[in-house]
Amino acid sequence: MHKNKMISISASDLEDFITDLSTRKNLGGPQDSAEHLRNLCDRTSILIKDEFNGEYKFFHLTIQEYLAAQKFDHKDDDILVRNFYDEWWLNPNIFYAGNKTDYPDVLKRIAKLEFFPADGEKKFNHFAHASQVLLAAHNIDNDVRRDVLLSMIKMFDEFSKEFINILVNSEDDPELQNRQLAKLRDQTLLDIILNLRDMFMEFFAMEDFKSDLERIWTKLLMDNSKLNMCDITLYSLSYCLAIQTKDAKYLEEFVLTDNIEINSRWFKIVDVDISIKKLINTQKKIKFKIRNIATKNNEYIQNQFKERIKRHYLSLTGMDKG
């Protein structure tokens, strides 16, 4: 049923299935399939009958998702990977990850972006779904977890750029039909930054991910070339680690590392974050430098925060307006 995206089955089809199954296995109970089905429903309440159309379905879709995952094995990996971005397959993937000790093959393929998410929705679902599946895969190897997290960060970066691009281009459409998009379009630069940061926190700020995110951050900083991720992604990652560890060094590294060229707005944001969140391990010289830059450019920064993102597209994404 689940492979065919069915939530119910006709009585005749289910009775035929029971009849066929009884020829291969000893099901016990009545020989008549219709009576067997009625007894099963009365005894377990797992299956219920829709009196309106006469079809049967599980009491809750989660039961169907769980039972489907219990039947999956390696031969089903392809369907799980191919449909990883589909909401219909999220819970089966989660249950499968938690049930199988050798599950990493699916996540390895997700980390390699075998089926590249072509649009913004699929990019979002990549890191949103991977976060939940990765948490369920409790026996996964550390290197696989790290590879999955890195792919999630890359997809968050791609999603952020595409999301900002859509908002910027929508400003030229006075009759925008999508109300949610129209509402987002009217938000300020600071609103968008904080919304994307909170989205990152929702899917990355997990205790199980912390040590691997720290390693990823350190590796990114050790790269001598300019990082090709947008500022919002790098800020969100550094903020996530700073909040998890209560350590200001991650945010300080974000604004002061040579291979991250950033707009002065980030000094103000980081200065406020360190102060409000009461982060520790702040060095006086570094803290003074950050605050000095934030204060020196305060009027310019405050004006930015009130503006829409169109004027700041390039500095936010590192890309020319599409």
Q: Which residues contact 259 (CB under 8 A, 6 or more apart)?
A: 221, 223, 224, 225, 226, 227
Query: Length of the chain, please?
Result: 322
Q: Both tokens of residue 264? A: 């002065």
CA distance 173 to 186: 12
Closest CA to 260 of 222, 226, 220, 308: 226
Contacts of 82 (CB under 8 A, 6+ apart): 115
Is residue 190 helix, strand or coil? helix
Specify whether the CB–CB gap between 260 and 217 falls below 8 A: no
Domain borders along the chain are 11-59, 62-140, 153-322
Taking alpha carbons only, the member of 188, 204, 206, 200 closest to residue 265 is 188
Question: Could you list the mean pLDDT of each consecutive 10-residue stretch along the chain, which spans 322 residues?
Answer: 91 87 74 82 84 88 92 88 96 90 80 93 97 93 95 96 85 60 76 96 98 95 76 96 97 88 92 95 88 92 85 71 46
What is the CA angle 212-76-155, rounded to 5? 35
Amino acid 83: pLDDT: 95
Instruction: Count the alpha carbons within 13 Å of 267 in the hemisphere toward its beta carbon.
Output: 21
